[in-house]
Structure 1
Amino acid sequence: MNSFLSGFSSSNTNVFDSCPSSSNFTQFVHDAQSFLLLLSHIEEISWSSIRLSSSSDGSILTLHHTYIDLGDRSHDLYIDIPQRWPNERPRCRTNLPVEFNIEIWCPKTSRLIEIITNFHSVVNSLQSFWTQLNELERDAIVLDEKPISYASTTRRLKINDNVHVQIQIDPYNPCAFPSITFHGPPMLVRSFDERLEQNRNHWNDAHSNIILNLEHILDITFPSNIFLKSKSQTKDDQQQECGICYESTIDMNETVIYCETTNCFKQYHEKCWKIWLRKKVPQRGGCDVLDIVVDERMNTTTASGPCLFCKKNIIVN
């Protein structure tokens, strides 16, 4: 058995990026019948379309398959074959916006090639979804950090220097009305929310272009990448950064506060703002910090102080 595995491994080194060693194969395969069954499955798939690797302890063998879709996008499927193969079902890992699992696995009749075929089918069914996202990136200024995963269903689009919108598209119905959330100074976001609520019934599912739909119901024109110049890009980057740490404020995991003074609307991370205020409290008279109160019982903080840019007061709860 060992000599057979050694010969198999060495004779196929040109096929694999990283082929498991014979010792790992021996550790993985508990009997010759299981091993030969696995070989027959791989033969059906074609050796040229997969790569093999194993976990460090040899307990899992992984088949890596790459599929290029009609949009020239590359999608990876990892099929983990457990030690109890074929009695234990394989596990799949992908980078798709929808869940991809093996629902039914019968050791005697199920084949690995069926998983590959199903993967191709799911990827092909998502072409309209990725096309919609490509159109967003083509027709608007996308603020998400690059590269963006094919699994992502959201895009953050710039509306103006102070407001951006997060759009979440349904992969199964990409032309339907998406989930829409505006981000920016509350007084500006409020007006966009009101327009959206008033006009959302004007959304046209038959119109495949999301940008045109949004421009129609919001009565706006999205700034376009086509006319984006390096100077304006620098200004945009500065507008979307914290006025204290100068890091981006686009990350949805962090709370952002805004100076609501017209023509300012400077952004700050809430944590940066409160840390800055606390550091300035001992010099209260000199830095114009108006108030900072910490209620330990309610675990809340109310803080106020001047915007570092326009000097107008900001209140944070």
Structure 2
Amino acid sequence: MDMYGSIYAEIEEVGWEHLLSLEDDLSSVSFRVLDEKGRVHILEISLPQTYPQCSPSIAADVPYICEFEWSKNSKLKDIVQRFDEHLKKLQEFWSTMDEIDRALLVVEPRQPSHATSHRQINLGNGCHLLLSINTRNPKSLPECRFLGPDSTIEPIWRNWKKNGRKWKKDKNFVDNLATLLEFTLPKPPTVNSKEVDRTDCGICYAHYLPIDDELGNSSGSSPDYTCENTNCSKTFHSICLRDWLRSITTTRQSFDVLFGNCPYCSDPVAVKTNIMEQ
């Protein structure tokens, strides 16, 4: 089997619905992988010219990459499976970061990635707390740095050092912080209910499409297609779903309708080809 046929066969084993991109020269392939909480992760696999005799390299938006053993019998599906196992080990870390983002007044980073392990928290009175979470042991006492006027920082820092032994791994992370600092931490501002209900497109990861004449009636629109699988219910811009379906070899077309599978749950989806004219 030639190189192209071999790679295509390996992608088939992983599942075409997970394929995100494949370079024309077969130098790299990217897969979309969902973890058990529904978070989307992009796994990029770089293939050497001597593949599969030589090991490929991988990259992903995670705090640290997983290691894998490569042999002459290894295939792409083995890497994807190893990466999926790696994601399971990181669930506690991401749950901790989600708890911080949800309960505290986070000022930086504004749009954290899955790899980001720090948060800058506004404590009030011009004082901020920079937390560095241990990615392998996220429930442990984090490293910290206080930012602000010395007169404000000094008593808070004293409390942190004095109460360090009170940190409990089986306790809520935010409650642990409040115990160490000896005051109630500011909460994030109340979010408009419409913003809470807002969902982003599962393909382009944006809520609104750009304002562009080339997009026709879809210009500036929000997601208008929802997967009918109630356990999935991912939303998409119809135009994004159309373009994605066109990139998948298993997609079928009947008249002006494309039939394929949801990128997340693989249940059937269908979208018209003439979306921009509607």
State TM-score, norm by structure 2: 0.64
- Does the 8 A contact of 2:59 with 2:65 survive in 1? no
Corresponding residue number in structure 1 for 2:182: 219
- Does the 8 A contact of 1:168 with 1:178 survive in 2? yes
Corresponding residue number in structure 2 for 1:12: none
Q: Deviations over 1:85-112 (max 9, x none)?
A: 112211111000122344x222x21121
State TM-score, norm by structure 1: 0.56
Q: Indicate the SS of the match to 1:143.
A: strand
- Does the 8 A contact of 2:109 with 2:119 survive in 1? no
Q: Which is higher, the Rg of structure 1 or of structure 2? A: 1
CA distance in 1, matches of 2:65, 2:153: 33
Kindly report which structure 2 residues correspond to 1:245-284, keeping only aligned pairs within 5 A, or say none. none
CA distance in 1, matches of 2:18, 2:67: 20
Q: Indicate the SS of the match to 1:225.
A: coil
- Does the 8 A contact of 1:65 with 1:78 survive in 2? yes
Q: Please tell me whether residue 90 in structure 1 is matched to residue 59 in structure 2.
A: no
- Does the 8 A contact of 1:91 with 1:101 survive in 2? no
Corresponding residue number in structure 2 for 1:15: none
Deviation of the 1:158 alpha carbon? 0.8
When residues 228 and 79 of structure 1 are mapped into structure 2, their CA distance, relative to the original with a 3 A threshold, is closer
Match of 1:150 among 114, 119, 128: 114
The amino acid of 1:105's aligned partner reads W
Deviation of the 1:201 alpha carbon? 0.4
- Does the 8 A contact of 1:52 with 1:61 survive in 2? no
CA distance in 1, matches of 2:190, 2:18: 42
Deviation of the 1:84 alpha carbon? 1.6
**What is the identity percentage for the equivalent residue pairs of Structure 1 and Structure 2?**
24
Corresponding residue number in structure 2 for 1:181: 145
Corresponding residue number in structure 1 for 2:91: 127
CA distance in 2, matches of 1:73, 1:180: 27
Kindly report which structure 2 residues correspond to 1:1-317, keeping only aligned pairs within 5 A, or say none. 33-54=2-23, 58=25, 61-102=27-68, 104-106=69-71, 108-207=72-171, 209-226=172-189
Say what the alpha-carbon RMSD is for the aligned residues.
2.0
Higher relative contact order (CA 8 A, sep 6+): 2
Q: When you count helix as a share of all residues, which structure comes out higher?
A: 1
CA distance in 2, matches of 1:51, 1:134: 26
Deviation of the 1:53 alpha carbon? 2.8
- Does the 8 A contact of 1:169 with 1:179 survive in 2? yes
Q: Indicate the SS of the match to 1:39.
A: helix
Deviation of the 1:228 alpha carbon? 8.1
Deviation of the 1:190 alpha carbon? 2.1
- Does the 8 A contact of 2:124 with 2:186 survive in 1? yes
- Does the 8 A contact of 2:61 with 2:114 survive in 1? yes
User: 5+ residue gaps in structure 1?
Assistant: 1-31, 230-317
Deviation of the 1:226 alpha carbon? 5.0
